[in-house]
Structure 1
Amino acid sequence: MNQPVLSVLMPVYNAEKYLVESIESILGQSLEEFEFIIIDDGSTDSSPQIVQSFTDKRIRFYQNGTNLGISTTLNKGIELAKTELIARMDADDISYPDRLREQYQYMVAHPDCALLSCWVRVIGEDKEVIRVDRFAAGYHYYNMAFISPMYHPSVLYRRSAVLEVGGYAQKYAEDYALFWALSRKYRIYNVEQVLLDYRVSSSSLHQVLRKQEYETAHAEQVLGNLRYYMGNEYQLGPSYLACLSHNFGPLLQENSVQQIVECLKQLETINEKIFTKPNVNLDLRAVKQAAISKRNFIISYYTQHLGYGQKVGLLLRTGSWRILYRTLRDSLNLRNSLTTENT
């Protein structure tokens, strides 16, 4: 085997249903010079036997004696890695053939970048396409304050940088916490190509099995992020915090245009701090564009889910004149159409 130029790190826990396809997607990469570290975290299904059925010498297989959890398992894998560049992979996802090559070449060409993701296609259990997430690379730094714009199995990072910030330090939302820590000190980026199929399944920890734990950890992470900009005493109501994290339901249930407007005012205050806080990733033009996009996204959601009067009120109070014009125009066209049909 040629000397590896990067390591692929995959934790496995009761993943027998999709494991073969996931492993094969890595072994079939156009870039072949890698080591493939697979760590079984105490599976009770046939996952270990499936891994052991592969004879490719690039695979380094380890088994935890008991279930240690994903953060401990990933930190173990990082310590075991022989290379500086580590690509994450999960046992139910599919990497496209050129994923490693594209990400490796970017990292070699940009030695100041410590964390790199890519666009992903989100699929269901039977590979039905749910959506394709194409996040603008220039928006990642801004968005990181409110959500994790990077899918965990899509990233490639530098081992030394991860170790320097303390590795995976959280039990839940562990990827978000790590990405945030890296983005405080190092450049982050996103390859604007779809290079991974991210599978949503009934066995997904953050989607199903530990959904509440991950949501709580995510909210705590976001509040901590905002305090980085606003100060350690900063507080934000739960429905506002959820809204800024793109969980719009709690604020919608309050059925108050005033509350939505107040939430957007909070966002404007936060934005001013983000615009002026020094960071290696701060591109002011891109950050301001990302802020406008986020504000418009929030307003667009609520105008689609509020009653007509509340919708118009929200658009007036937020100065969303273009959307207001389209809303009034569409309403007038509908009224004229109904009048024509009735005459």
Structure 2
Amino acid sequence: MNYIPSISIITANYNSASFIVGTIESVLKQTFTDWEWLIIDDCSTDNSIEIIKKYDDKRIKLITLKENFGAAITRNYGLKNAVGRYIAFIDSDDIWLPNALEERINFLINNNEEAVYTSYKRVDENLEPCLNDFIAEDHITYSRLLKNCPVFISTLIYDSKRIGKIYFPDVYRREDYAMIINLSKNIGKIRALTSPLVIYRIRHNSYSRNKWLMFKLQFLVYYNFLNLSLYKSLYYTTLWALNGLKKYEKI
């Protein structure tokens, strides 16, 4: 019988050579060790694949795609191949603190919950603090998520045995938000740990810093993906924008 790990970790990699070492080292340092890690490379043109291959750990499974598909389809390749009961995600430039997996697994088991996310630290490309820690809110529901999304994908873990695998909709540059929306519809609420267990690296050229583009893409989530009326789409996009200003206040 093939061994089945408790957790499947999913990472989409694209040209992350400058940061992937920190991500890999953080996963390898986890106090909870019963995991597999599916790293799906989306046709990188840098040497990130060579860096990943240097790590001789049977738990790390590198999948290389032959076409560039984008984050949603890339992560879904990982989900299709995941065998662990619990599904966790870490972006290829983020860092987990050593107890990130253990704390979340224990919370799910001890509280009989289906999903949990956590607070996280916010740093620049050189790991210097650039914003205050983002503190997670408990009991996140669908109606709460319409206003903005406090759930950061690298902090999220859910129980696929109880709720099934939640795939990423192919929503341009808002696939994380769309998936979390679907997750909330499925389970009703997403619980939180207020301890910051993840380090989120805010990169200088991140598209999320382009406010006008993000405003348009967020509107399209409400209007096209969720099929809300024009009025409700504009209303929630405005709320999202106002909440976003608070979210990115400087230290």
TM-score under structure 2 length normalisation: 0.85
How many Å separate the matches in 1 of 2:104 and 2:233?
Answer: 39
The one-character-per-residue Cα deviations of 1:138-178 (angstroms, maximum 9, x if unpaired) are 35555312111101111112336354x65434232111111
Query: In structure 2, what is the Cα distance between the partners aligned to 1:33 and 1:8?
Result: 11
Aligned to 2:124: 124
Gaps of 5+ in 1: 251-296, 302-343
1:243 corresponds to: 238
> Out of 206, 209, 213, which is 1:207 matched to?
209
Q: Does 1:193 align with 2:189?
A: no
In the TM superposition, what is the alpha-carbon distance from 1:185 to its structure 2 partner?
2.4
Aligned-pair distance for 1:37?
Answer: 0.8
Q: Render the CA deviation track for 1:289-316: whole Å, top value 9, x for unaligned.
A: xxxxxxxx8xxx9xxxxxxxxxxxxxxx
User: In 2, Cα distance between the equivalents of 1:150 and 1:47?
Assistant: 27
Given that residues 145 and 225 in structure 1 are in contact (C-alpha distance below 8 angstroms), is that contact kept between their aligned partners in structure 2?
no
Distance 2:149 2:225 in 1: 11
Q: Secondary structure at the match of 1:35?
A: strand
Quick check: which one's helix share is greater?
1
Q: What amino acid does structure 2 have at the position aligned with 1:96?
A: L
Q: Distance in 1 between matches of 2:224 and 2:5?
A: 38
Say if 1:249 and 1:133 are closer, same or farther in 2 by CA, change over 3 A. closer
Q: Percent identity?
A: 25
Counterpart AA for 2:6: V
Structure 1 partner of 2:62: 61
Distance 2:14 2:106 in 1: 31
* Correspondence 1:98 to 2:107: no
Q: Secondary structure at the match of 2:61?
A: strand
Report deviation, 1:190.
Answer: 1.2
- Cα drift, residue 77 of structure 1: 0.3
Cα offsets for 1:92-117 (capped at 9, x unmatched)? 1110000001111122234442x321
User: For residue 83 of structure 1, what is the aligned residue in structure 2?
Assistant: 84
**Whose strand proportion is higher, 1 or 2?**
2
SS in 2 for 1:148: coil
Partner amino acid, structure 1, of 2:54: S
Q: How far apart are the structure 2 equivalents of 1:162 and 1:170? A: 21
Paired AA for residue 243 in structure 1: T
Greater RCO (Cα-Cα under 8 Å, separation 6 or more): 2
Separation in structure 1 between the aligned mates of residue 32 and residue 122 of structure 2, nearest angstrom: 24
In the alignment, which residue of structure 1 is the partner of 2:144? Answer: 143
**Rg (Cα) greater in structure:** 1
- Whichever residue aligns with residue 51 of structure 1, its letter is I
Structure 2 residue aligned with 1:155: 156
Letter in 2 for 1:84: R
SS of the equivalent of 2:39 reads strand
Q: Is the 8 A contact 2:142 2:181 kept in 1?
A: no
C-alpha contact (below 8 Å) 1:140/1:189 kept by paired residues:
no
Q: Which residue number corresponds to residue 37 of structure 2?
A: 36
Deviation at 1:247, TM superposition (A): 3.3
User: Equivalents in 1 of 2:140, 2:66: separation in Å?
Assistant: 41
Alpha carbons 1:120, 1:134 under 8 Å: kept: yes
Q: Given that residues 142 and 185 in structure 2 are in contact (C-alpha distance below 8 angstroms), is that contact kept between their aligned partners in structure 1?
A: no
What are structure 2's unaligned runs of at least 5 residues?
Answer: none
